């Protein structure tokens, strides 16, 4: 069994900016912000102020899960983390 959780590694060193996320999904920054406000993306990690970064690994897993809403994604992620911790 791997030491890395199946869905997300909270210590993922590869964090990407809003601009990089927009490029990754081939959308404008405006569209990305709108999708974020609508709760259609995983929550970013906030480092105070307006600096927000996303885990590239988490975004990959989110896409593989079918791009669920943020609420649905949190339930999936929390369930996976709970299962991982119990093993």
Q: Give the CATH number, domain containing residue 44.
A: 1.10.1660
Does the residue 3 lie in any domain? no
* Domain range for 51: 15-86
Q: Does residue 84 carry a pLDDT above 90?
A: no
Does the residue 9 lie in any domain? no
Q: Does residue 73 carry a pLDDT above 70?
A: yes
pTM of the model: 0.73
DSSP line for 16-77: E-HHHHHHHHT--HHHHHHHHHTT-SPPPEE-STT-EEEEHHHHHHHHHTT---HHHHHHHH
Q: Does residue 30 carry a pLDDT above 90?
A: yes
Q: Does residue 9 carry a pLDDT above 60?
A: no
Beta-carbon contacts of 41 under 8 Å, excluding residues fewer than 6 positions away, are 21, 32, 35, 54, 62, 70
Each residue of 45-69: pLDDT tens digit? 887 777 889 989 889 989 999 999 9
Buried b (16+ CB within 10 A) or exposed e, 46-57: eeeeeebbbbbb
Which of 24-28, 54-58, 65-69, 81-85 is least confident? 81-85
């Amino acid at each position: 069994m791997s030491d890395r959780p199946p869905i997300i590694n909270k210590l993922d060193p590869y964090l990407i900016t809003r601009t990089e996320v927009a490029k990754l999904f081939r959308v404008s920054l405006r569209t990305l912000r709108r999708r974020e406000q609508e709760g259609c993306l995983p929550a970013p990690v906030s480092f105070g102020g307006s600096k927000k970064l996303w885990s590239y690994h988490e975004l990959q897993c989110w896409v593989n899960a079918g791009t669920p809403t943020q609420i649905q994604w949190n339930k999936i992620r929390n369930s996976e983390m709970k299962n991982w911790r119990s093993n």
